[in-house]
Amino acid sequence: MTALKITSLFLILIASIQALPRFAVQEGVSCNLCHVDPNGGSLRNDYGISVASSELTKAQGSDRVGGYSGMINEYLRVGGDVRFLNYNANENGQLQSTLFPMQADIAVYLYVNENVGVFTEQDLLRSQNEVWLLWSGLPFNGYVKMGKDLPAYGLNIDDHTSFIRGGNVRKKALEYEGLAFSPYLYSPGLIEVGINVGNLNFSQSIANQFIDESSSGGFGENVYDKAFTSRLEWWPTLGLINGYLGGSILQQGLTRFNGLFGGISVGNITWTGEVDIAEEYVSTGTVLASYSEIDYNITKGLTLLLKYDFFDENIDASGSSINRITFGTEFYPISFMEVRCQARFTGVTGKTAELNPEYILMVHTWF
C-alpha cells in the first residue's frame, strides 16, 4: 500500500490508552480504581498493575512478572503502551494487508507527597504530549487537576474510530463521521475539579477551546471562548448485578454536546453504551452519535464482543447516516499482552456507497 494509505490507516485505527469501561462495570467501581488519573485511563496504579498481571489471564507468569509494580523508587512510577496492528481489506477485488505500529506511549507519575503528584505522557509516534498536576486529599475525596489534558466527556473507550469519539478520520461516505475526539487533537490547557462521594462521582472542568482543533496549552483565552465540561457518574449495585449510569455536557461557544452513557454487568455478560446529541457542531444540523457493546467472557482471558456504532449527521431532516457492526474477540494469553481480532462491516443510508468489510488483528502490550 502507498505511504499515504498507511498514514491514513494509522489515523483511522489509532487507539489511545484509555480505560476499558466494561472492566469497571464488571467490578462495579469507577475507572479511577486502576489508574492514577481520577478520570481513568493511561498510567495504571498498583491495583491496575495487579489486574493487568494476574486477573486478566490464567497465565500468572514468573515471580518477577507477578511482583512488577511500575515503581522505579518510592516517588516515581513509569509505564507505557505499545500496539501493532495488521489491517486487511478487500480493495478492487484484491486483499490488501499492512502491518504497522499504531501506538508507542510512555508515561511517568511523580509522587511529590501523599496528596500531590505530577503526570506526563509522551506519544513517541506523533510527538504529542500530556502533562498535569494533581492535588488530591480534599474534602469529599476531592481533587484539582491542572495542566494539558482532554476534558472528561463520555466513555473512555479505547477505540477512537467509534463515532462517539473521533470516528472515521479517513471518511467513507459522509462529511462528518464522528465527534470531535479524533487522533488529530492536541490536549488543551485545562483545570478540573472533582469530588467522589460513595458511588457518586462529579467533575467540572474549564479548558481552552479544542473542538475546532485549535487547542493550546496555556490559559490566555477569554473565559467565554473556553470549553466547559460537566460530568456525573453513579455506580449502583443490586445483588450480583453491577450498574453504571452517567451523563456529561460540554459547551464551547455555540457548540454543545449532551451525552448519556452507562452499562450493566450480570455474570459473564456486560453491556456498555452511550448516546450523544451535538448541536452547532457541523453545518448539516443536529448530530446523533451512539455506541453499544455486548461482551461475553467465555473464560478468564478470553472475551467475545459485539459492537454497534451509529452516526447521523442531521436528525432534524432525513439526512444520511453511517453505521458499523463489529464482531471480535479479545485474548490475554500472558500477563501484559492482549491480542484483538475483529471483523467490521460498515453501511450507509441516504447515499450510494459500497463499503468493504475490514479485518483487524492487533497486538497490545503494556507495562
pLDDT single digits (tens) 55-73: 667 665 555 666 778 889 9
Half-sphere exposure of 115 (CA within 13 A, CB side): 9
Residue whose grid cell is 467472557: 297
Percent of the chain with pLDDT over 70: 87
Q: Where are the domains of the chain?
A: 3-366
Burial of 95 (0-12, 13-18, 19+ CB in 10 A): exposed
Residue whose grid cell is 446529541: 277
Which residues does residue 250 pair with via DSSP β-bridges, in sequence order? 229, 257
Q: Which residue has the higher pLDDT, 233 or 350?
A: 233
CA-wise closest residue to 203 among 250, 137, 166: 250
User: 3-366, what's its fold?
Assistant: Porin (2.40.160)
> In terms of DSSP bridges, do strands 227-234 and 237-238 run parallel, antiparallel, or are they unpaired?
unpaired
Residue whose grid cell is 495542566: 147
Q: Which residue has the higher pLDDT, 3 or 213?
A: 213
pTM attached to this predicted model? 0.87
pLDDT in tens, 262-303: 999 999 999 999 999 999 987 767 999 999 999 999 998 899
